[in-house]
Amino acid sequence: MSEDHSTPDPAEGSEQGEPRFSFTDKRKVNPEDGSVRPPADPAAEDVDPIDAEAAELFEQAASGADDSRVAELEKQVADLSETLKRDQAEYVNSRRRIEASAEAGKEAAIGRVISSLIGVLDDIDLGRQHGDIVEGTPFHAISQKLESALGAHGLERFGAVGDEFDPTIHEALMHEDSDEVEVNTVKMVMQAGYRMNGRVLRPARVATYGPQ
């Protein structure tokens, strides 16, 4: 009986299903002579499929292959921009209306409070005329503080003897025919008028004289 010392054929191992291996030397320096190997061809390297698809899409966009889609998107952007401008303008106008309404409500509330104090101002005026409120008395200081506080909110007193009669701010309780003046003129102020920020709260109640 003899022994078989022959070397197995690699092809036979492959046929029997054993894996075959291959190695690629990627060293940049040749180990045999120490020389620098030339760089590998970049085109031969594997390319990421996602990068390849992105590059293809970029090339299509750059070459104008999708001009219709670009035009459609530009139109959508223009429409949205126009809608945004309209919404912004409507918001600004609505905000202005709300602010104006709030300011008008504030002015009306202040006007109502001041109107309720006009009777107090009439009493102060009568007290001055009768000598009950004179400088140096507590009532004089209080009346000045009240008038200053109301004046800070725009309250203004009007109506004086010699003023030309104006039916928009004067209320004539009496009239005397006279040739001394060419137009109806205030002869006596019975109650002063008051206005706030140009709005008449109460007309001045006066007696007038003038031509028939």
Q: What digits encode the pLDDT tens for the residues 155-206? A: 999 999 999 999 999 999 999 999 889 999 999 999 999 999 889 999 999 9
> For residue 121, which amino acid is it?
L
Question: What's the pLDDT at 132?
Answer: 85
Name the CA radius of gyration of the chain, rounded: 51
Pairing mode, if any, of strands 170-177 and 204-210?
Answer: parallel
Token pair for residue 66? 């999708």
Q: What's the rounded Cα separation, in Å, for the pair 169 and 183?
A: 16
CATH number of 154-212: 2.40.30.10, 3.30.830.10, 2.30.22.10, 2.70.170.10? 2.30.22.10
Neighbours of 186 (CB within 10 A): 21
Where helices occur in 117-210 by DSSP H, the ranges are 118-129, 138-152
pTM of the complete model = 0.54
Residue 60 CA to residue 39 CA, distance in Å, equals 31
Tokens of 99: 């602010």
Q: Smallest Cα–Cα separation from 111: which of 155, 165, 148?
A: 155
